[in-house]
Amino acid sequence: MTAAASAWSGGWWAAARRIDSPNFGPRPADGAPPTLAIVHSISLPPGQYGGDEIERLFTNRLDWSAHPYFEQIRGATVSAHFLIRRDGELLQFVSVDDRAWHAGRSSWGGRDECNDYSVGIELEGLEDHPFEPVQYEVLATLLRELAMRCPIAQVVGHEHVAPSRKRDPGSAFDWRLLATSLGWPDRCFPAGVLNAA
């Protein structure tokens, strides 16, 4: 067994704190592994960091009455595979072998239903607000590990797979920094993002 393989157990990465979400399902019956990583941003309530509200949302334990904003998302049953907190802590909610509910109605490269063939990675943050350097460090490490386990060919934002609905991770996300950290070719990222000012 290789070191990379031993870091994974049933689709769970040993370096992440595991918090099981009930919001997932099987990947398509063809058994094809995920080839796409989708970067999101989330904060609950918007612009507030450090609490456990994201964990509660992904595990169906959020108190909808705890903040006025929560009424707008009442009843949501969503998840992502991973969450990277502002301080760099990495949490995992769904095995990468399973289908997390993160992209919604989505399409990339002519294929719909991105949840079927992607891994969802949430960054604690708000669209168009800068992310922390440690979040990029953890994201790059996670993507390298994922690419050793799955044939991840591209990394995109939620805004790229659902442009009519979503804006995350937003204009402040530094795609060039991520690409440089990874050392991956330009084709692994959405067209134009590496040339953005």
What residue ranges do the domains of the chain occupy?
3-184
Rounded Cα–Cα distance for residues 95 and 88 (Å)? 20
What type of residue is 192?
Answer: G
Q: Could you tell me the strand order of the sheet in which 90-92 lies?
A: 17-18, 90-92, 82-84, 118-124, 36-42, 154-157
Rounded Cα–Cα distance for residues 178 and 193 (Å)? 11
pLDDT band at residue 195 using 50, 70 and 90 as cut-offs: confident
pLDDT tens-digit readout, 59-76:
999 999 999 999 999 999
> Rg of the chain's alpha carbons, rounded to an integer?
16
Catalytic residue among 53, 55, 122, 124: 122
pTM of the model: 0.96
Query: Is residue 137 among the annotated active site residues?
Result: no
**Superfamily in which the 3-184 domain is placed by CATH:** Peptidoglycan recognition protein-like (3.40.80.10)
pLDDT band at residue 32 using 50, 70 and 90 as cut-offs: confident
Q: What is the pLDDT of residue 5?
A: 52
